[in-house]
Structure 1
Amino acid sequence: MSRHLPAAPLSRLALAAALTLGAATAFAQTQPPNQEALLQRVELLARELERVKAELQQLRQAQQAAPAPAPAAVQAAAPVALAPAAPAQPATVVSSYGELTYNRPKDGSKAQADIRRFVIGLQHRFDEQTKMVSELEVEHSVTSSSDQGEVAVEQLYIEHRLNETYGLRAGLFLMPVGLLNANHEPTAYYGVERNFVETAIIPSTWREGGLQVFGEHDSGISWSAGITTGFDLTKWDATSGEGREKPLASIHQEMQLAKAHSLAWFGSVDWRGIPGLRLGASVFGGKAAHGTAGFASPGAKVGLWDVHARWTPGAWDLSALYTRGGIKGAGDLNQSFLDKSTDPAFVPNAFDGWYAQAAYRWQLKGDRVLAPFVRYERYNTGRGFDGLPAGINPGSYGTEGVRTVGLNFYLNPNVVLKADLQRFRLNTDNNRLDLGVGYAF
């Protein structure tokens, strides 16, 4: 007869594993998808499940390695030696999100349909403390030398947890700025398009390469800080309209042979001490000339900060954000544009924007949710310009106001259908109808 360890420890550990997995599943099904609090909670439950699995494996190995039964006297004198704990098993997870859009402006001849994004994510957990996170994105369906599509690595970093509270990330990661940048899946925001403030002022999806330290505390405070690559002002194209529309996005390096003579710094903090409430802020700064020989404004610097809030009392989902940034010390660069273009896009020393949004989530049959929403935002991509004489200095591009009203209809937490109407205060030719479908898993 083979020798067996008592069944009770195994059954208790199996029950603990089942309860842990069940708690994670129930939590994911009852909470709104793609929220940071959900991700943090599921991550903690996953680590707890790994520990339970390791203990189960330890007992199984001890059971299999136990020697044949000895005479009663000898058996009583020789205690059972358990095998060393087995390391946590590696786990690889595949994720994805994507969205298809239809935009019809006032001029119907300019209506467009697009596969806006298709993203594949891959995570691999090496052990309980260390994992790799990556995302590969395809934009606009087709990528070639004659097409407008793009293939980009959106994230690629190693995360190592020092303990339950602190951790490190190294590689290419999303900047912890605003409400949208780190949670930009189509199921995570209202409306077909991402809001203008967090795309024209905060250049979402914004990622940098570097080193980040972060903390998640029981008090509800989470924070991060680090050193990263920054913006490259030598990329500014005075003959392009991109700088007028999205000043920082036009000089974002995206870790593509990124100039790193001058590194940037950032910090962020969020508080979730009251259920359903998130209050936070972030700041970023760094030089942008990178020691480029002969560059007109070698001391130019980029700065950006934001404050944000989100509150979800019951079925309501309320959020607001303000952000302000600027490119300082670019006066000589602006002067150099005067002889190169009849209507150059000058480098702004200030830009800002804010929005307020309210949505109501009606729970329908099963997992279906109907979420009507309204949003109002104001933003200005050029409030001032250094180095330009009177009569040439544009002063300000003007503050655009956008009203958006729409519906998100969730077939389940992972699939959403969207529709909205947008009305612009200054450029009414941009008034449009948007339709879309998105998914995330």
Structure 2
Amino acid sequence: MKKNMLTQAICGALISSACIAPAYAGEAELLQKIEKLAAELDAIKAELAASRKKNEPGTEAPQTVNQSAAAAVPVSTNVDVQIQELRKELTKTVISGYGEVAYSRPRNASDQAQTDVKRAVIGVTHRFDSKTKMVAEFEWEHAIASKSDDGEAAVEQLYVEHELKPGLSAKAGLFLIPTGFMNTSHEPTAFYGVHRNFVETAIIPTTWREAGLGMSGSHLNGVSWDLGLTTGFNLTKWDAASADGRESPLGAIHQEGQNAKSKDLSLHAALNWRGVPGLLVGGSAFSGKAGHGTKAFAANDARVTLWELHGRYNPGPLDLSALYARGTISNTADLNLTFVGNPNPVPSAFAGWYVQAAYLTWKDSDYSLTPFVRYEQFNTAKSYAPVPLGLGVLSTDDEKVITFGLSFKIGEGVVVKTDYQKFRQDNSRDRYNLGVGYAF
């Protein structure tokens, strides 16, 4: 009798586990749980089959353990149903999206205040089965995209991914490079501040995507990793007369999958550890040549390398994070000689870092309020390759920005934000910001 009750309790626990899994488990964890449930169910069915065989005429009386298995028939059948339902959940087509609208008012130039529909994104994820999926995201920036407007329409992601085995998957297509915090998690509900931080936009060109192949793995000890071979940057796009390179060196030469030059491919790798509740530490690196063997181009051997380290501690209401990123572009001296007289030659190094603290001060069933403060320091032209005296451009000082503000969340999908940003080097950029965003 006790064994019978124990068997039913185990099966009941399996059923409960299957029912609540989608509420808290990641996709990989959910798939592992399904496979575990299936294995447990197979064991129960095998035991049940053995019990029935022994109950056939001419066989010995069933033993106690087999009676327990027989008593669990309705429960095991229920587990089977739960598994099938979970598998069906993973084969659905899901529509997602996010968007944000921002108002900015310079402190000393109120006549330059402006409002911008920064972006609207629609995503589609379709699971062909429990192991294979397609992911696509389509983005519109600045409200209107046309030849005479500043707006842009773009494919942000478009790839297929297949799970080779639990904890190991491969993908191909156009996907986000796994670097820093924001490049792969940049919905307005996922970061503090009305605008994305400068380090992860000026140094890391969020949102940064490349076309190619990638592999990802996760392990029970909290370690996860990514490796990939993709397209890279195109230095032939550099415009020394434009300010684009000063705003973001890599943002000025990224290709975004648009007829991307691919003679020179790039490698990337990322490693993260989440072995302690609330703690994340990790880093990533990306490197590849950017000249692509272009005829008569002075920097075919130029190599772009970007690496970063990051950490976050979020044990409860407290949320602390820090990130350092550094990029280099080698072998640019000859190219910069062709840019003499222009204000923005190619930098040999650019870097930045920030620290951020936030605290959830109030929360009820529908709303939450989180004040935050962030200090960041960055330089998009930290140094230049040596050129003859008098022909070069001096490197600039680091810009230092402090941002403090509030995030007011309505449920989990809507956020209203406000902040004030103070610039150390160029205080004409000091500004008040107000924004609203959503993600689903």
Task: Pick the TM interval, shorter chain.
Answer: 0.7 to 0.9
SS at match of 2:233: coil
Q: Which residue of 2 aligns with 1:44?
A: 29
Contact 1:368-1:411 at 8 Å conserved across structures: yes
Q: Which residue of 1 aligns with 2:324?
A: 322
Q: Which residue of 2 aligns with 1:151?
A: 153
Aligned counterpart in structure 1 of residue 22 of structure 2, from 5, 17, 24 = 24
Task: Using the TM superposition, give the Cα deviation of residue 307 of structure 1 relative to its aligned residue in structure 2, in angstroms.
Answer: 0.4
Contact 2:226-2:270 at 8 Å conserved across structures: yes
- Give a deviation string over 1:236-289, Cα, whole Å, max 9, x none: 011100001100000000000100000000111001100000000111100000
Single out whichever of 105-114 and 248-257 deviates more from structure 2: 105-114
Contact 1:103-1:433 at 8 Å conserved across structures: yes
- Correspondence 1:134-213 to 2 at 5 A: 134-213=136-215
CA distance in 2, matches of 1:50, 1:112: 53
Contact 2:240-2:343 at 8 Å conserved across structures: yes
Q: Which residue of 2 aligns with 1:386?
A: 385
Q: Residues 13 and 112 (structure 1 numbering): CA distance in 2 closer, same or farther, change over 3 Å?
A: farther
Task: Using the TM superposition, give the Cα deviation of residue 173 of structure 1 relative to its aligned residue in structure 2, in angstroms.
Answer: 0.8
CA distance in 2, matches of 1:51, 1:141: 47
- Correspondence 1:227-306 to 2 at 5 A: 227-306=229-308
Task: Using the TM superposition, give the Cα deviation of residue 102 of structure 1 relative to its aligned residue in structure 2, in angstroms.
Answer: 0.5
Which amino acid is 2:20 matched to?
G
CA distance in 1, matches of 2:399, 2:302: 27
Q: Residues 233 and 169 (structure 1 numbering): CA distance in 2 closer, same or farther, change over 3 Å?
A: same
TM-score, structure 2 as length reference = 0.84
Task: Using the TM superposition, give the Cα deviation of residue 396 of structure 1 relative to its aligned residue in structure 2, in angstroms.
Answer: 1.1
Contact 1:245-1:381 at 8 Å conserved across structures: yes
CA distance in 2, matches of 1:297, 1:409: 48
CA distance in 1, matches of 2:136, 2:35: 22
CA distance in 2, matches of 1:13, 1:258: 54
Task: Using the TM superposition, give the Cα deviation of residue 16 of structure 1 relative to its aligned residue in structure 2, in angstroms.
Answer: 5.1
SS at match of 1:337: coil
CA distance in 2, matches of 1:102, 1:14: 53
Contact 1:266-1:285 at 8 Å conserved across structures: yes
- Structure 2 residue runs of 5 or longer lacking an equivalent are 1-6, 42-55, 58-76, 78-82
Q: Which residue of 1 aligns with 2:92?
A: 91
Task: Using the TM superposition, give the Cα deviation of residue 17 of structure 1 relative to its aligned residue in structure 2, in angstroms.
Answer: 5.6
Q: Residues 119 and 21 (structure 1 numbering): CA distance in 2 closer, same or farther, change over 3 Å?
A: farther
Task: Using the TM superposition, give the Cα deviation of residue 393 of structure 1 relative to its aligned residue in structure 2, in angstroms.
Answer: 2.4
Contact 1:191-1:408 at 8 Å conserved across structures: yes
Contact 1:332-1:387 at 8 Å conserved across structures: no
CA distance in 1, matches of 2:308, 2:219: 22
Q: Which residue of 1 aligns with 2:121?
A: 119
SS at match of 2:337: helix
Q: Which residue of 1 aligns with 2:414?
A: 415
Q: Residues 17 and 143 (structure 1 numbering): CA distance in 2 closer, same or farther, change over 3 Å?
A: farther
Which amino acid is 1:20 matched to?
A
SS at match of 2:165: coil
SS at match of 1:250: coil
CA distance in 2, matches of 1:119, 1:17: 37
Contact 2:28-2:167 at 8 Å conserved across structures: no
Contact 2:31-2:130 at 8 Å conserved across structures: no
Percentage identity across paired residues of the two chains? 50
Q: Over the residues paired in the alignment, what is the CA RMSD in angstroms?
A: 2.6
Task: Using the TM superposition, give the Cα deviation of residue 111 of structure 1 relative to its aligned residue in structure 2, in angstroms.
Answer: 1.0
CA distance in 1, matches of 2:363, 2:386: 58
Task: Using the TM superposition, give the Cα deviation of residue 134 of structure 1 relative to its aligned residue in structure 2, in angstroms.
Answer: 1.0
Q: Which residue of 1 aligns with 2:426?
A: 427
Contact 1:176-1:182 at 8 Å conserved across structures: yes
Single out whichever of 321-330 and 14-23 deviates more from structure 2: 14-23
CA distance in 2, matches of 1:363, 1:157: 39
CA distance in 2, matches of 1:203, 1:128: 33
**1:352 maps to 2:351:** yes
- Give a deviation string over 1:357-406, Cα, whole Å, max 9, x none: 00001242213211000000000111111242223322312100000000
Task: Using the TM superposition, give the Cα deviation of residue 209 of structure 1 relative to its aligned residue in structure 2, in angstroms.
Answer: 0.7
Task: Using the TM superposition, give the Cα deviation of residue 112 of structure 1 relative to its aligned residue in structure 2, in angstroms.
Answer: 1.1
- Structure 1 residue runs of 5 or longer lacking an equivalent are 1-8, 28-39, 57-71, 74-81
CA distance in 2, matches of 1:50, 1:218: 15
CA distance in 2, matches of 1:276, 1:199: 25
TM-score, structure 1 as length reference = 0.84
SS at match of 2:402: strand
- Give a deviation string over 1:153-196, Cα, whole Å, max 9, x none: 11111111111121111111110101111110100000000000
SS at match of 2:182: coil
Contact 2:203-2:248 at 8 Å conserved across structures: yes
Q: Which residue of 1 aligns with 2:396?
A: 397
Contact 1:334-1:347 at 8 Å conserved across structures: yes
Which amino acid is 1:170 matched to?
A
CA distance in 1, matches of 2:16, 2:124: 26
